[in-house]
Amino acid sequence: MSDTAPDPQRVREASLEELHRLRLPLPPPDFPLVWEPGDQVELRPGGEIEARAACLNVVLARALGMPPELALQWLAESRLVDRLTPPEWQFVADGAGDEHSFALHIEALFALAWLLGIAMDLDPLLGCAADGLRERLPNLANGESFDAWRRRTLAAPRSAIAAAEQLDLYYCLDWSILEAERRRLPLPGQADSNTVGQRRWALEWAVVFTGLYHGAAPNWEEVDLST
């Protein structure tokens, strides 16, 4: 169910205040808003976010050495094989692709967990390990099924408005962190461009806007992080 998105200028002001608190460079005055006044916003269905999180968990397990046959068996038993993207399928099945790039998805998975309400805080100063993320994911080593994980975690997805506000913050953070790295400025906490970019990726995918300037919601591999 969609809601009217919050006032984008008010949300942007709050995002800029947070950047100022973190002592990061501020985006230029003409930095685009993520949405326009009057746009509608909603989250993808909770089951879809859970499935995406479970797939990323398997991808990460493969990056950490899980045998491909066990990974594929778990996905097949969970009826999630068709939820893998083509690059993920190639990596899980054959080990093809950049293992380091897939391992970075731990931060995207953290953002998905936050959206599901099973990670408490998406503070850019903290890494995902600080929130005990691993304990909240399907326990593949113990053979925990997808359905058993869903029953154990009892996800309570965030509101679309809260998710939109978080997306605006990470949209601004993405620019600011990259600018700070370019200028070799000190970074706050555990934040870096990989952390912020991965979390923004998940938020961009999960938060769906409807309005004059928004097209269809992108697939996972279609998320545009270029601006």
Is 227 inside a domain boundary?
no
Instruction: Look at residue 120 in the predicted model and tell me its pLDDT.
Output: 86
12-29 burial code (b ≥16 CB/10 A, e <16): beebbebbeebebbebee
Q: In sequence order, which residues have a C-beta less than 8 Å from that of residue 143 and are 6 or more positions away?
A: 74
CA distance 185 to 177: 9
Coil, helix or strand for 157?
coil
What residue numbers bound the domain in which 127 lies?
A: 46-153
> What is the H or E stretch that residue 147 is in?
helix 146-153
Distance of alpha carbon 108 from alpha carbon 53, whole angstroms:
9
Residues 97 and 189 occupy one common structural domain? no
**Is residue 216 one of the residues assigned to a domain?**
yes
Mode of pairing for the β-strands spanning 3-4 and 207-210? unpaired
Predicted confidence at residue 131, as pLDDT, reads 62
Find tokens 């000190």 and name the residue. Answer: 186
In a domain, 209, yes or no: yes
Model pLDDT, residue 130: 55
148 and 164 share one domain: no
pLDDT of amino acid 133: 84
Contact 52, 115 (CB under 8 A): no
Query: Are 50 and 138 contained in the same domain?
Result: yes
Residue that the structure tokens 């359905």 belong to? 147
Q: Are residues 35 and 9 in the same domain?
A: yes
Last residue of a domain, one of 106, 126, 153: 153
* Residues 5-23 pLDDT 10s: 999 999 999 999 999 999 9
> Is residue 86 located within the same domain as residue 17?
no
Query: Same structural domain for residues 35 and 51?
Result: no
Statement to judge: residues 144 and 174 lie in one domain: no
Quote the pLDDT of residue 224. Answer: 93
Residues 192 and 167 in one domain: yes
* Last residue of one domain, picked from the residues 104, 128, 153: 153
Domain boundary among 111, 129, 153: 153
Total domains in the chain come to 2
Low-confidence ranges of the chain (pLDDT < 70): 129-131
Residues 87-118: pLDDT tens digits?
999 999 999 999 999 999 999 999 999 999 99
pLDDT at 135: 87
Asked, for residue 212, whether it belongs to a domain, the answer is: yes
* Phi and psi at residue 3, to the nearest 5°: -125, 160
Q: What residues contact residue 106 under an 8 Å CB cut-off, 6+ apart?
A: 60, 128, 133, 198
Does residue 226 form part of some domain? no
148 with 51, same domain: the answer is yes
